Amino acid sequence: MKRIAGRLLLASPYLSDPNFYRSVIYMVRHDEEGAFGLLLNRPGQITLDELFSDRLGRPPKRSDPIYFGGPVDGPLIALHTLSGLGDPCGPLSSEESLDGDEDAGSSPVWITADDDQLTVLADRTDVQVRFVVRYSGWGPGQLDRELGQGGWLVGPPDWPAIFGPSDSLWENMVKRVAREILGGILNARGADDPQWN
């Protein structure tokens, strides 16, 4: 089984489950025990102001929307780029890197649900953060079966996309993955062969 932690999971255009329709999920964990990820393109109506003003005694410096990370109840989580705060969760943070790279300490993405760390991030405008409540989860082998059935596409970790605007994230990432798939097919068949034109 190829691990996809640290990659983007894109709902196939044919996936009709309303929980995941046109969704882009950052995969935090994927192993024999199951999978865990955070939806990146479902902004909610609640902002950090509403959650942290009472806690801080003033409005936080950030006013980000809180995203819905999936259908499973869970705490407020921050996916962010402040190195050393929380746990690394990039593609190189696991023992099984997709590219065979052993540099496990170089993750550009970190995750935390710790209240004190979330409070720090609410006031840091110099780092990229996506605040998420709830999450997406799969039991042992479940995501692997769904991948085998064509329910999902797997995309590369794209840091600007992860922390950027979410309104066209799915469309942009599906187009990118489609170009990579088609490019691989053409290269495998020999793009210079006129019979493939």
Q: What is the pTM of this model?
A: 0.84
The structural domains of the chain, with segments of one domain joined by +, span 8-196
> Both tokens of residue 90?
């990039």
% of the chain exceeding 90 in pLDDT: 68
In tens, the pLDDT along 24-58 reads: 999 999 999 999 999 999 999 999 999 999 889 99
In terms of Cβ atoms closer than 10 Å to its own Cβ (0-12, 13-18, 19+), residue 144 is: middle
In tens, the pLDDT along 143-152 reads: 999 999 989 9
Pick the CATH number of 8-196 from 3.50.50.60, 3.40.50.2300, 3.30.70.20, 3.40.1740.10: 3.40.1740.10
In terms of Cβ atoms closer than 10 Å to its own Cβ (0-12, 13-18, 19+), residue 139 is: exposed
Q: Which residues contact 44 (CB under 8 A, 6 or more apart)?
A: 65, 66, 67, 68, 133
Say if residue 82's pLDDT is above 60.
yes
Q: What is the residue type of 111? A: I
Q: Give the pLDDT band (50/70/90) at residue 195.
A: low
* Residue corresponding to tokens 């496990």: 104
Q: What is the residue type of 188? A: A
Cα gap 50→31, rounded to integer Å:
36
Q: Give the pLDDT band (50/70/90) at residue 14.
A: confident
In tens, the pLDDT along 103-127 reads: 334 568 999 999 999 999 999 999 9
